Structure formats: structure tokens, C-alpha cells
Amino acid sequence: MTPVPALPPQAAWHDTGTRVFCRAARADGRWWVLRLNDFPEHPLHTLFIDAQVVGDIDDVPDTWRLRPGAALPALTASERAEVLALMSGLGPYGAELGAPCTGDWCTCTLLTDEYAARLDRKA
């Protein structure tokens, strides 16, 4: 998997309210976004910084302070809209390379911008 950069200490992860781009953090004016992929067909996550792919990761670094199952603060509505606009078209695995997955065994074809925008938690 890809070596990932350290999240700056002043940055904090937030819940985006979507199952596609599950976590986002604002660090040094840039959005770090984790896309949750269809595992095990694809790596568990793909990390983007300002919509530019950094790489695929199966295990988030401990230094990112993301404990499984731990509640995170939610993005504001305007932050969420900004993240979703930034990540437009990048829901399916491989979309960042211009080749979105259309595999028979995963859900990538469902990961449209409209699907990503659905609020999956109570506001």
C-alpha cells in the first residue's frame, strides 16, 4: 500500500455523513478526504488531498487519531457541500485515474455524486 503523509497535528478528522467519502480533515487550507472503497475487491480506503489521489491504504496510521467506531464531529453543511463538490466524479474506485471500476463483484457503479450526497446519518 501507499506510504501516507502525517496529518498535521492541528487538523482533526470529521464525519462527512456519507458512506462514500467517509472522513475529511482540513489541514493547512487543504481538504484530506478518505474514500471508503468496496473492500475486499479494492483497498479499504483511498486518500485524496484536494481531490488529488495520494494513494490506497488498508490501515490508517495511528497518528491520524482515527479509532474504529469512535464518533467524530460532523462537518458543517457548508463544509460538507465544499467537500462533495471537490470530490465530484471520484466516487467509484479508479475514477481518479479516468478508469472508474465497473466490476461485477463490487458496488462501484452505484457510487454516483447523487449517492455520495445522501446524508447517511441524522442531521
Instruction: Count structural domains, the chain.
Output: 1
Cα–Cα separations (whole angstroms), residue 65 to 7, 54, 59, 62, 111: 9, 19, 12, 6, 27
- Indicate whether 87 belongs to any domain: yes
Residue 71: which domain range?
13-117
Is pTM beyond 0.75? Reply is: yes
Q: Which amino acid is at 77?
A: A
pLDDT of residue 10: 87
Write out pLDDT tens, residues 31-82.
999 999 988 889 999 999 999 999 999 988 888 888 777 789 999 999 999 9
CB 48 within 8 A of CB 56: no
- Indicate whether 77 belongs to any domain: yes
Confidence of residue 123 (pLDDT cuts 50, 70, 90): very low
